[in-house]
Amino acid sequence: MTALWTREELEAATGGRLTGADREIGGASIDTRTLAPGDLFFAIRGEARDGHDFVADALGRGAGAAVVREDRAEALAAHGPLLAVPEAGEDPVLTAMIRLGAAARARTKAQVVAVTGSVGKTGTKEALRHVLSEQGETHASAASYNNHWGVPLTLARMPAATRYGIFEIGMNHGAEIVPLTAQVRPDIALITTIAPAHIEHFASLAAIADAKGEIFSGLQPGGVAIINRDVPHFDRLVAHAQASRAGRIVSFGEHPEADVRAQRIVLRPDLSVVDAVVMGEPVTYKLGTAGRHTALNSLGVMAVIHALGADLARAALALGTLSPPVGRGARTALEIDGGTAYLIDESYNANPTAVRAALATLAGIETGPRGRRIAVLGDMLELGAAAPDLHRGLAEAIEAARIDLVFTAGPLTRHLFEALPVSRRGGVADTAADLIEPLARILRPGDAVMIKGSNGSRMGRIVEALKARYANDPARRALATGP
């Protein structure tokens, strides 16, 4: 294990005092369930639990040390090495993590990229991680670590020798991005798109655009602002970039004036082919994931690669081996009655724009001789008073995508279910778990079934149940059926 932080660096950055036997620090964690030996465990106070209650467990699992409040250190000292930090802010441990993240950002010579957007930020971040990892040491946010805990944690984990740092930044209220982008201090900031996600907390889409535009406030002097040219609020986002320290604004999309422009997108069931012009240079590449939305986001990836001065040809080649992140389009073959059906896992999250994109992708999937396209949709949350209409409005997209059957889980998607013709109604339930058996009973070879909903809808339960029952994995089937 390569040391990420020395004792002296930890104490200088946090203002704390490290006591107990020395253990090498190789990472950072706020969750004992995913903690690796050598991680620095931050005992952050959460909404429901206090991280100090897990210090003994963390140290027992091999944590290099635990970061604790100064006034809790004496009571926890017997469990192992502690970095006791002084009172500062509402949560001194979180403050210490932010300070350590600032130290990580200050010591690195990496080129740093920040990504936000209503849809596609995690997929775009993962695509950047994928293509840049072949060109230099790349550090990126894990999963969707994009909030007031995830951003400083990702910074604190960044090795000094990093060449490219990729950070995802999220929000569901105004002014949340400002402190996060100030910590990241990106050289390049990208906005994927603007859509009615979290609109419950905003007066309009324009207000969401303003909130996303905050990412440019943290740009390093002379940095590059990259903006989707196809979004209706493009000019509004440009104004945010112009008010920042950006030295250059680059646009991407299908718009004829986009700097990184798609001239042609060929959509196939399992991949896409993109003919693009990148800052005047023609580039053709295969994308190892399906869907027009993913192809359009890949243009933003190419804009970042160009802005970094990285190798465009190598990046274009690497995009061909890109696979979708978990819950964002991953596909699994299901063995059913001697044949094969296909599961498309879009269960990670949902908003109206993302659901429409997923339905369009499902429309392009080839089914078997008797196969059907089946959409299983959970409630889209945080849409405010417009939620019933926004759910009902998906009926048009389902019609356009020629979806054969629709199953819905939750009170909001019931509005959609009732708006569908009887011939398309597959089943309706109060919860995702209640759909598992009805869906399993009707699946047959040749079907393509897509699962999507907001995290709170727990649609991932359906994905896991279908994989356990039908995926070609004996261990999963044993768990599902028992001895």
pLDDT confidence bin for 476, thresholds 50/70/90: very low
- What distance in Å separates the CA atoms of residue 79 and residue 156, rounded to the nearest whole number? 23
Q: What proportion of the chain, given as a percentage, has pLDDT over 70?
A: 96
- What pLDDT is stored for residue 477 in this prediction? 38
Helix 460-470 vs helix 474-481: angle between axes, to the nearest 10 degrees? 100
Q: Which CATH class for the 7-97 domain? A: alpha beta
Given 3.30.830.10, 3.40.50.1220, 3.90.190.20, 3.40.1360.10, which CATH number is that of 330-481?
3.90.190.20
For 357-376, write each residue's pLDDT tens digit.
899 889 988 888 899 999 99
- What distance in Å separates the CA atoms of residue 380 and residue 326, rounded to the nearest whole number? 19
pTM above 0.85, yes or no: no
Q: What CATH code would you report for 108-319?
A: 3.40.1190.10
For 96-126, write each residue's pLDDT tens digit.
999 999 999 999 999 999 999 988 899 999 9
| Residues forming CATH 3.40.1390.10 domain(s) in the chain | 7-97
Angle at 285 between CA 283 and CA 290, to 5 degrees: 140
Contact indicator for 140, 129 with CB cutoff of 8 Å: yes
| Residues forming CATH 3.90.190.20 domain(s) in the chain | 330-481
pLDDT at 425 over 50: yes
| Residues forming CATH 3.40.1190.10 domain(s) in the chain | 108-319
- What distance in Å separates the CA atoms of residue 213 and residue 236, rounded to the nearest whole number? 8
